[in-house]
Chains A and B, each alone.
Chain A
Amino acid sequence: MKYLDEFRNASLTKNLSEKIKKLVTENWTIMEICGGQTHSILKYGIEALLPDEISLVHGPGCPVCVTPLEMIDKAVSIASRENVIFTSFGDMMRVPGSQYDLLAVKANGFDVRMVYSPLDAVNLAEKNREKHVVFFAVGFETTAPANAMAVVEAKRRGLTNFSILCSHVLVPPAIEALLSNPYTKIQAFLAAGHVCTVMGFDEYLPLSTRFNIPIVITGFEPVDILQGIYLAVKQLEEKRHQVENQYSRVVLKEGNLQAKKLLSTVFDIVDRPWRGIGVINKSGFKLKEEFSDFDAEKIFQVTSLSTKESSFCIAGEVLQGLKKPHECAAFKNSCTPEHPLGAPMVSSEGACAAYFHYKKVI
C-alpha cells in the first residue's frame, strides 16, 4: 500500500534502530501519548528494536479507556430505554460499566448499534423519526470535528430526534496533568500525530518550555515511531527541549483551520473527569448552549447512578505511565479481553489489551 508500506520498511526500521543505539548514553523514559501508537509498538514489536536504556511508557490516549465510568453508566441507562436507538463506535460497546456494557444492553433486546461515522447516526435519525437516536460522542480532538459536524448537520436538517452523549477530551491538558504529578517518570513525549493534524501544535510550545521537556509530534507506523523516538532521544542527549514535528507529511503547525473553527462553533471547553486519572481542568468539550437541544444528557436527565470501579484494576496508574499492564495482579488472571475489569483491556488501543494480545512470550 502506497504511503504505508514505505513506513513499514524493514531496512529503514533497522537503520533507525541502529542510529538510536549509537546515540543513547543514559537511561530515558519516553511516553507515547496515543493508544494507536501503543498498539503499533506492540503489534510490530518495536521495543525489541530499542536499546535497554530506553523505556517506553504508554499514555492515556485511548478514548474508550479514559471515558468516565459515570458516562458509560449513563450510556447504558439511555440505551436501555424503549424508543431509543443508541449508536456508538465499536470499541465502546464492550467497555465495562458499573454493571453492564452496551453489548449486554443489546443482548437484553434494546436497540444498540455500531456505526462507523456519526453522520450514519444522523441518517438513522432521519429514517426513524419515531425513535430518538443518540450517538456516543467520545474521543479526542481527532473524532470531535466529525461529531461537531453531525450536530450541525442534524440542526440543518431540522431533526429533533437526534442527540449526542458528549464525552470529549483534549490532549494538552492531560500532558500538563501528567507532568504536574511529582511521581512522574516521563522525560519526553511522542505527541499524537492525528490529534495535531486537527489542532496543529501551537498548544505544545508552552508545555515544552514550562516543563523542560521534548515533545515530538509522531505518526503511527513503525518508521514514524522509531524516527519520533530518535528525535526525542537526540533532544534528551543534547539537553534540548523543543517541539519537533516528525509527522510533517500530515501535520501543519496551525492544524486544520476549518475543523478548528467548527469545534469552536459547536463546543465549549470545560473541566472533565478522566477515568482512572480524575478531573482535569479545561480538558474536554461540552456542547454550547445554542446546541443544547442535541445534548443527550439534558434530554434524558439520567440521575441516581451509583458508579463502582473494580477494586483490583490499576488502570489509572497504567494510563499515567506509572505502571505497566503486566504489573497489575489482575492482568491475565481475573482481567482478560473476554472479561475486562478496566477499559484498557477492551480497546485495541488500550495498553492492557495490546500487552495481552502481543506480549506473552516475546
Chain B
Amino acid sequence: MNDTFNLSCPIPIANYEKVLLAHGGGGTLSHQLIQKMFFSQFDNPLLNQEHDGAIIEFNGMRLAFSTDSYVVQPIFFPGGTIGELAVNGTVNDLSMCGAKPLYLSCGFIIEEGFPMQDLWKVVLAMKNAAAKANVQIVTGDTKVVDKGKGDKIFINTSGVGVIQNDVHISPANCKVGDVIIVNGNIADHGIAIMSARENLSFETSIKSDCAPLNTLVENMLAVSKNIHVLRDPTRGGVASALNEIAQKADVGIFIEEEKIPIREEVKGACELLGFDPLYIANEGKLLAIVEEADSEKVLSEMKKHPLGKDASIIGKVTNEHLKTVIMKTAIGSKRIVDMLSGEQLPRIC
C-alpha cells in the first residue's frame, strides 16, 4: 500500500472507473470532474472565481493569469493550425477577464518522429499569431515522448495580462435586464475541424474562426464600463457558456434562435451530421453581457471591428427560470437549452 495515498479521501467520482473522452468534452461530465476532483482539492478564493483565468491583485495592480492546452486533431485545418489556436486561445481567455494580454509561456509535448517541417509550420504560425495579438512568448519548455505515446504535438500556453482599474468583468456580475451580444457567426471552428478529419468525407468552404479577440475587447471596453461578463464559447459552444453563466450568477437566460448568427453552410453541415450548432466550438467568438442602456453603443462599436461585423444581440438576462437557459425557437415556441451531457465532438480544441 502506498503510504502517501490518503485513505480518508475517497475518489469523489465513484461512477466511473476510468476517464472517458466525454470528461474532456466541456459538458456536464467535464464539470463534474473539475468540480469534484480539482476544485474540491485545490480550493482557494482565486480559483473559486471560476473565470476564464484567475484575477490576482498585486501591489495595487490587477493581473489576469490563465492557461490552456491544445490537443486538436488534425493539427492543420481550414483556417488555422494548432499554433494559432494555442496563442489565440490563451490571448482570448485573458481578454475574457477584461485584461490586456502581455506575455505567454509555451510548453511543447512532441511525439518522436514528428516531421521537423510540420513543427516549423506550427512555430511560424505561433510567431505570426503572437505578433498579430501584440503579445510576446517569453518562456517555454520542450518534451519529446516515445512514438505512439502522444499524438504528433500537444501545446500548452499560459499567459498574463493587466486589467485596468475601472474594468470589472466576472460571470457573477451578470444582472437581470442585461443584454447578450455575440460578435458573429457561431460554430465555424468545430465544423471546420470536422470537415478536415479523415473519416468524414464531406467538403466545405467553412474555415475556423480562430482569431485573437483582444483588440475587439479593448474597443468595447473603451466605449462602455458596463460590460459585466465576457466569455469565449469554445469547447461546449454557446449553449454551455450561457449555462455556466446562468448557474454562476443565479439568473435566467433567454435567447432567440432567429437572432443567433450562423452561416448557411454550417447549418447544413449540422443538419447532415445531427449536431446542434449551439454546442459546437468557436475559437474567435465572444459572448458579452452588457447593461441594456449601453448595449446599442457596444454593438455599434463591435460592428466597426472586422471580428465584430456580424455581431448581434441574441437575448437577455431575466429573473425567471433561474440557472436555466431558455430559447424561443424558430417556430415561436420555447424550449430549454441544456448543458451538453456527453461529448458531441471529441477533441476539438
Contact = CB atoms under 8 A, between A and B. Distances in A.
Q: Answer yes or no: do A and B interact.
A: yes
Interface of A: 1, 4-5, 8-10, 13-14, 42-46, 48-49, 94, 103-104, 106-108, 113, 115-116, 120, 222, 336-339, 348, 356-362
Contacts of A44: 329-331, 333, 335
Q: Which 6 A-B pairs have the closest CB atoms?
A: A45-B333, A337-B341, A13-B331, A10-B332, A107-B18, A357-B338
Contacts of A45: 329, 331, 333-335
A1 B268 contact: yes
Interface of B: 15, 18-22, 28-29, 32, 199-201, 264, 267-268, 271, 273-274, 321, 324, 326, 329-336, 338, 341-342
A211 B324 CA distance: 44
B336 A10 contact: no
A361 B327 CA distance: 12
A205 B334 CA distance: 37
7 contacts: A49-B331, A107-B21, A120-B199, A120-B201, A337-B342, A338-B342, A348-B274
Given A48-B334, A337-B28, 10 more contacts: A45-B329, A106-B21, A116-B273, A338-B32, A358-B338, A360-B336, A361-B321, A361-B324, A361-B326, A362-B326
Nearest to A345: B341
B28 A338 contact: yes
A43 B271 contact: no
Given A103-B20, A116-B199, A338 B330 contact: no
Nearest to A356: B338
Majority DSSP secondary structure for residues of B touching A: loop
Nearest to B339: A357
Nearest to B274: A348
Nearest to B328: A45
Nearest to B338: A357
Nearest to B194: A116
A104 B19 CA distance: 9
A361 to B, nearest CB: 6
A300 to B, nearest CB: 24
A116 B200 contact: yes
A360 B15 CA distance: 24
Nearest to B22: A103
Contact of A107 (B20, B268, B333, B338): B20
A24 to B, nearest CB: 19
A1 to B, nearest CB: 5
Contact of A336 (B18, B331, B341): B341
Contacts of B341: 336-338, 357
A107 to B, nearest CB: 5
Contacts of B32: 338
A116 B272 CA distance: 10
A8 B20 CA distance: 36
Contacts of B274: 348
A108 B18 contact: yes
A357 B332 contact: no
Nearest to B332: A10
Contact of A358 (B20, B199, B331, B336): B336
B333 A4 contact: no
Contacts of A358: 335-336, 338
Contacts of A113: 199
